[in-house]
Amino acid sequence: MIFSELILARQSVRRYAPTPVENDKIRQCLDAARLAPSASNSQPWHFIVVDDKSLTTEVAKATFSDIQLINKFTLQAPVFVVIVIEKARLITRLAMQVKKKEWPLIDIGIAAEHFCLQAAELGLGTCMIGWFDEKKLQKLLHIPAEKSIGLVISLGYAEEGYKQRTKVRKNMEEIAGHNTYKGRF
């Protein structure tokens, strides 16, 4: 698949088939994420793959609540990847203080997108999830209390006939400037 086709194919999948995901495909996605760039090559991530059915149900339940039901679709996902933020290299941490930037958050975003693009190329669907009960996931997955979870990614085969995205993206003039903030590109 050429890149322009791949970015059109990748979308947030919210309906999954019960089909198990092959370990070799999960490994390919992890390898793509592993190769993502990061500030000072810190690689501030640790990926936890969750595919045990009893655990996936509990992870799914940690992504929604009685108030926020939007992620209830996660109950169908056969696999989750929980991205734990690891400590960045000392040089990166010093630069973060000076520049007041959280580069590990950017880094895990890049790694997550590498993961999701690889999944799309392999015919898998993903959805990046930022709403979750962190304490519940830490306890469930034995993540040390001093660690922070950056993202949860649901992974699986999209339900048969899953509809390609229909939401319109902003046009170029709304998202890009040329030489100045408002300069037309």
| Strands 45-50, 148-156: pairing kind | unpaired
Domain residue ranges in the chain: 3-160
- 3-state SS, residue 101: coil
The tens digit of pLDDT for each residue in 6-51 reads 998 899 999 999 999 999 999 999 999 999 999 989 999 999 999 9
Q: Which of 1, 4, 10 is nearest to 153 (CA)?
A: 10
Question: What is the chain's pLDDT, residue by residue, as a tens digit (185 residues)?
Answer: 899 999 988 999 999 999 999 999 999 999 999 999 999 899 999 999 999 999 999 999 999 988 888 899 999 999 999 999 998 777 887 877 887 888 889 999 999 999 999 999 999 999 999 999 999 999 999 999 999 999 999 999 999 999 877 778 899 989 999 999 988 87
Alpha-carbon dihedral angle through residues 83, 81, 115, 63, given to the nearest 10 degrees: -80
pTM of the predicted protein model: 0.92
- State the pLDDT at residue 35: 98
H-type helices in 46-89, by residue range? 53-61
Q: Which residues pair with 160 in a beta bridge?
A: none
H-run or E-run covering 112: helix 103-121
- State the pLDDT at residue 165: 74
- State the pLDDT at residue 182: 86
- State the pLDDT at residue 62: 97
> In the CATH scheme, what is the homologous superfamily, with its name and number, of domain 3-160?
NADH Oxidase (3.40.109.10)
